[in-house]
Chain A
């Protein structure tokens, strides 16, 4: 920590740049956790539904894509936000 502060005193621009990069990584990584779990649940349940009732597979697939789209949007917000953050 001391070392970091000394570095910051030397060249604050460089530290800000590094911290921005770290922040971008955290933003995208954090935003991907929830949707990752969510898409897993959506697809898993859709597969269960298709296996139980193959004749309704078309409907399950359409609904699955809708569910994925809604869930995935959150991860994409994080992705875009990671670009918006600038040091």
Chain B
């Protein structure tokens, strides 16, 4: 009989406090978050000295900026949205670095698998897109275009307005935060599950570990894809919300 002890979820995502206490306790996840900030800062500062013939870091940085500009902002907001390039660029690279920690050996803990960070970033996005809406359309105009979308039969507003209200103030921020958080948490648990299964089968049968072991390697590749995709989706949804607040539906 195979002894398979699956640890409780809290063992996989809650890390012991290293120093500090209460709300300022610092553990592995907080250290990783700081590391992500440092990586992103160093990355863009080292790419800052613009050479005529770009090389190395500058090439990569320019590719990322180009991607944010052409594939996210121009596709969703249009050229007025270019003002938000730095914000979306930072958001994308920071989330990506936080996500990719999931598959880096030894570290193997996505910072975004703890709700605090996705929730915080979502609150920033939430306030920004409402602020933009109020700024571009005025208080009355913004609430009118938000709660009373044009082209709807009058009687249906009884149904549409509460739904739109929930969408703007509840579903959007909740789904934005939960999407990032749950994807990374699920990925982390998936990798942990397969690693535990592989280890248990290896110590019991050696050969039996072949199938879950090769699946584990494949899942690693998949999780790299998820890390990129979730950073992209968070950023593009932010851009879509900002664009929607800028240009009301006609």
Contact = CB atoms under 8 A, between A and B. Distances in A.
Interface in B3-19: 9
Nearest to B76: A62
A69 B179 contact: yes
A59 interface: yes
A62 B237 contact: no
B182 A62 contact: no
A61 B240 CA distance: 15
A73 B186 CA distance: 13
Nearest to B183: A76
Interface in B163-220: 175, 178-179, 181-183, 185-186
A76 B229 CA distance: 15
A65 B236 contact: yes
B71 A62 contact: yes
Interface string A59-84: 10010011001101100110110010
Contacts of A65: 229, 232-233, 236
B75 interface: yes
Interface residues of B, number: 17
Nearest to B240: A66
A69 B237 contact: yes
Mostly, the B contact residues are helix
A69 B231 CA distance: 12
B237 A80 contact: no
Contacts of A73: 175, 178-179
Given A62-B75, A65-B232, A76 B237 contact: no
A77 B178 contact: yes
A66 B232 CA distance: 10
A69 B186 contact: no
A65 B75 CA distance: 13
Given A66-B236, A73-B178, A80-B185, 20 more contacts: A58-B71, A62-B71, A62-B236, A65-B232, A65-B236, A66-B233, A66-B240, A69-B179, A69-B233, A69-B237, A72-B179, A73-B175, A73-B179, A76-B175, A76-B182, A76-B183, A79-B185, A80-B178, A80-B182, A83-B9
Interface of B: 9, 71, 75, 175, 178-179, 181-183, 185-186, 229, 232-233, 236-237, 240
19 contacts: A59-B75, A62-B71, A62-B236, A65-B236, A66-B233, A66-B237, A69-B237, A72-B179, A73-B175, A76-B175, A76-B182, A76-B183, A77-B175, A77-B178, A77-B182, A80-B178, A80-B181, A80-B182, A80-B185
Interface of A: 58-59, 62, 65-66, 69-70, 72-73, 76-77, 79-80, 83
Q: Which 6 A-B pairs have the closest CB atoms?
A: A76-B182, A73-B175, A69-B233, A79-B182, A73-B179, A80-B182
